[in-house]
Amino acid sequence: ARLFRDRGESIALIDTDPDSYPTDENLRVFISSALDTDVLEEAGLASVGTFLAMTNNGEVNLVLAQRAIEEFSPPRVLSASPSDSAASVKIQPAFAPQFNLKTWNQFILDSAVKLGETEFHAENFEVQQARLRAMVETEALLPVLLERDQNLHVCTADLTWEVGDRLIYLLHDPKPKLLKVLGGSNQTKLTLEKLPEIEEIPEPELNPEVVQ
């Protein structure tokens, strides 16, 4: 939400828990249920480009997404639920094919994530793409936002990356909390940065030639 806001885009959060949202981000927050049509209208769903349902319950997310489609028909409707559970072809699964929101929420609660960005370059595109896909499958990395042609979008599970894309992601950082505190890296607010774990692509190992 902060990244969209910093680009001057209109964004609103809807949550039933008054303690679940940041108080210093100057974001529009509605403490209510997203099933309330009046709240959705007040939040501006009739004029926004994207609706993202992201509770801890994948089935609830699908219900919320379907309600948004029926009442307002926004251009893009995404649900944080596994890609094989979509109730409608109009609902796009968010982030990754087998995305587990509870797992990533726990990573965040444990301060076990970093917020990173990377760009896809032509010279090592295939290697870079394959490496990131493998990290997504093992839940080491979660694609969050993609910037393409100066437009920022929430990542969908079936997204195909292209040369020139800028990917914003969460990286699982399982370093023990004590080590983070001692190392001065225990920060409450995630900072967007290029991470060496992603930027430094390892060189392929060369098999030594067999001398006959």
Where does a domain end: 61, 93, 125?
A: 93
- Residue 153: what are its φ and ψ, rounded to 5°? -135, 155
- Cβ-based neighbour number of residue 24 at 10 Å: 6
Q: What is the CATH number of the domain that holds 33?
A: 3.40.50.720
pTM attached to this predicted model: 0.86
The answer as to whether 210 is a domain residue is no
* pLDDT number for residue 211: 46
Does 87 lie in the same domain as 60?
yes
In a domain, 211, yes or no: no
Q: What digits encode the pLDDT tens for the residues 122-159?
A: 999 999 999 999 999 999 999 999 999 999 999 999 99
Q: Which residues contact 128 (CB under 8 A, 6 or more apart)?
A: 118, 120, 121, 201
Same domain? 56 vs 112: no
One domain for residues 146 and 189: yes
Distance CA 84, CA 101 (A): 15
Instruction: Decide the pairing of beta strands 151-154 and 91-93.
Output: unpaired
CATH number of the domain that residue 124 is part of: 3.30.70
Which residues constitute the domain of residue 132?
Answer: 101-198
Q: Are residues 155 and 193 in the same domain?
A: yes
Q: Based on the domain organization, do 20 and 42 belong to the same domain?
A: yes
Domain membership flag for residue 204: no
Determine, yes or no, domain membership for 205: no
- 138 in a structural domain: yes
Cα 110-93-87 angle, rounded to 5 deg? 125
Same domain (yes/no): 59, 123: no
pLDDT tens, position by position, 55-110: 888 889 999 999 999 999 999 999 998 776 655 778 999 999 888 888 998 999 89
pLDDT per residue over 11-59, tens digit each? 999 999 887 776 666 788 999 999 999 999 999 999 989 999 998 888 8
Number of domains observed in the structure of the chain: 2
Taking CB atoms within 8 Å and a gap of at least 24, the contacts of 100-107 are 100/139, 101/54, 101/55, 101/56, 101/58, 102/56, 103/139, 104/139, 104/142, 104/170, 105/56, 107/170, 107/172
The reply to whether 138 and 162 lie within a common domain is yes
The reply to whether 65 and 117 lie within a common domain is no
**Do 194 and 176 reside in the same domain of the chain?**
yes
Instruction: Among 53, 71, 93, identify where a domain stops.
Output: 93
Contacts of 107 (CB under 8 A, 6+ apart): 113, 170, 172
Q: What is the pLDDT of residue 204?
A: 61
**Which pLDDT score, from 0 to 100, does residue 203 have?**
65
Decide the pairing of beta strands 12-15 and 28-31.
parallel
Does any domain span residue 206? Answer: no
